[in-house]
Chain A
Amino acid sequence: MATILEMRDITKEFPGVKALDRVNLSVEEGEIHALVGENGAGKSTLMKVLSGVYPHGSYDGEILLDGTEMQFRGIRDSEARGIIIIHQELALIPLLAVAENIFLGNERAHRGLINWRETERRAADLLARVGLKESPKTTVADLGLGKQQLVEIAKALSKDVRLLILDEPTSSLNEQDSEKLLELLTEFRKQGVTSILISHKLNEISRVADTITVLRDGSTVARLDCKDGISEDDIIRDMVGRSLDDRYPEREPKVSDEVAMEVSNWTVHHPIQTDRKVVDDVSFHVRRGEVLGIAGLMGAGRTELAMSLFGRSYGRDISGSAKIGGREADLSSVRSAINAGLAYATEDRKTYGLVLGDTIRRNVPLAKLDAIADGLVVNRHREGDVAEKYRDRLAIKSSSIEQETINLSGGNQQKVVLSKWLFADPDILILDEPTRGIDVGAKFEIYTVIRDLAASGKAIIVISSEMPELLGITDRLYVMNEGRFVGEMPTAEASQEKIMARIIKSGNRAA
Chain B
Amino acid sequence: MSNIVDSTAQAPAGQQARASLKFLKNHLREYGILFALIAIMVFFQIATGGILLKPVNITNLVLQNSYIVIMAIGMLLVIVAGHIDLSVGSVLGFIGALAAVMIVNWGVPYLIAGILCLIVGAMIGAAQGFWVAYFRIPSFIVTLAGMLVFKGLTLWLLAGQSVGPFPPQFQLISSGFLPDPFGVDGFNLMSLLIGVGVALALAIFLVRGRAQAAKTGAVDEPFAFFAAKTAIIVIGIVWMSWLMADFRGLPNVFIVMALLIAIYSFVTSRTTIGRRIYAIGGNEKAASLSGINSKRLTFLTFANMGMLAALAGLVFAARLNTATPKAGATFELDVIAAVFIGGASMAGGVGTVVGAVVGAFIMGVMNNGMSILGIGIDYQQVIKGLVLLAAVIFDVMNKQKS
- A17, A370, A384: the one contacting B218 at CB < 8 Å is A384
| B158 contacts the other chain (CB 8 A) | no
- B213, B271, B279, B289: the one contacting A378 at CB < 8 Å is B271
| A272 contacts the other chain (CB 8 A) | no
- A16, A356, A367, A384: the one contacting B4 at CB < 8 Å is A16
A378 contact set on B, CB distance < 8 A? 270-272, 274-275
| A464 contacts the other chain (CB 8 A) | no
A369-B276, A385-B216, A397-B1 given as contacts; is B286 within 8 A of A354 (CB)? yes
A16-B7, A376-B272 given as contacts; is B1 within 8 A of A399 (CB)? yes
Alpha-carbon distance between A338 and B290 when the two chains are bound, in angstroms: 9
A18 contact set on B, CB distance < 8 A? 1-3
Alpha-carbon distance between A18 and B288 when the two chains are bound, in angstroms: 35
| A355 contacts the other chain (CB 8 A) | yes
A353-B286, A373-B272 given as contacts; is B5 within 8 A of A335 (CB)? no
The A interface, classified by DSSP as helix, strand, loop or mixed, is: mixed
Q: What is the CB-to-nearest-CB distance from A13 to chain B, in angstroms, rounded to a whole number?
A: 8
Alpha-carbon distance between A356 and B279 when the two chains are bound, in angstroms: 10
| B291 contacts the other chain (CB 8 A) | yes
* A355 lies within 8 A of B26 (CB): no
Q: What is the CB-to-nearest-CB distance from B317 to chain A, in angstroms, rounded to a whole number?
A: 33
| B361 contacts the other chain (CB 8 A) | no
Alpha-carbon distance between A334 and B287 when the two chains are bound, in angstroms: 10
Alpha-carbon distance between A338 and B215 when the two chains are bound, in angstroms: 33
* B216 lies within 8 A of A334 (CB): no
Q: What is the CB-to-nearest-CB distance from A207 to chain B, in angstroms, rounded to a whole number?
A: 31
A40 contact set on B, CB distance < 8 A? 1
B54 contact set on A, CB distance < 8 A? none
Residues 197-223 of B at the A interface (beta carbon under 8 Å)? 212-213, 215-216, 218, 220
| A160 contacts the other chain (CB 8 A) | no
* B291 lies within 8 A of A334 (CB): yes
The 8 A CB mask of A352-390 against B (1 = contact, 0 = none) is: 111111100010001101100100111011001100000
| A233 contacts the other chain (CB 8 A) | no
* A355 lies within 8 A of B218 (CB): no
* B293 lies within 8 A of A335 (CB): yes
B287 contact set on A, CB distance < 8 A? 355, 366
B370 contact set on A, CB distance < 8 A? none
Residues 338-362 of A at the B interface (beta carbon under 8 Å)? 338, 344, 346, 351-358, 362
Interface range for A: 35 or more
Alpha-carbon distance between A269 and B124 when the two chains are bound, in angstroms: 37
B274 contact set on A, CB distance < 8 A? 378
* B272 lies within 8 A of A369 (CB): yes
A147 contact set on B, CB distance < 8 A? none
Q: What is the CB-to-nearest-CB distance from B287 to chain A, in angstroms, rounded to a whole number?
A: 7
B213 to chain A: closest residue by CB: A380
* A357 lies within 8 A of B2 (CB): no
| B37 contacts the other chain (CB 8 A) | no
The 8 A CB mask of B171-215 against A (1 = contact, 0 = none) is: 000000000000000000000000000000000000000001101
A376-B273, A385-B216 given as contacts; is B279 within 8 A of A217 (CB)? no
Q: What is the CB-to-nearest-CB distance from B8 to chain A, in angstroms, rounded to a whole number?
A: 10
| A175 contacts the other chain (CB 8 A) | no
Chain B CB within 10 Å — which of A334, A344, A381 has the most?
A334
Could you write out 16 A-B pairs with CB less than 8 Å apart? A15-B26, A16-B7, A17-B5, A21-B2, A218-B1, A333-B293, A351-B283, A353-B286, A355-B283, A358-B349, A366-B286, A367-B291, A373-B271, A376-B272, A378-B272, A381-B215
The residues of B with any CB-CB pair to A shorter than 8 Å are 1-5, 7, 22, 25-26, 212-213, 215-216, 218, 220, 270-276, 278-279, 282-283, 285-293, 349-350, 402
The residues of A with any CB-CB pair to B shorter than 8 Å are 15-19, 21, 40, 217-219, 310-311, 313, 333-335, 337-338, 344, 346, 351-358, 362, 366-367, 369-370, 373, 376-378, 380-381, 384-385, 397-400, 402, 420
What are the 3 closest A-B residue pairs judged by CB atoms, nearest first?
A355-B282, A367-B290, A218-B2
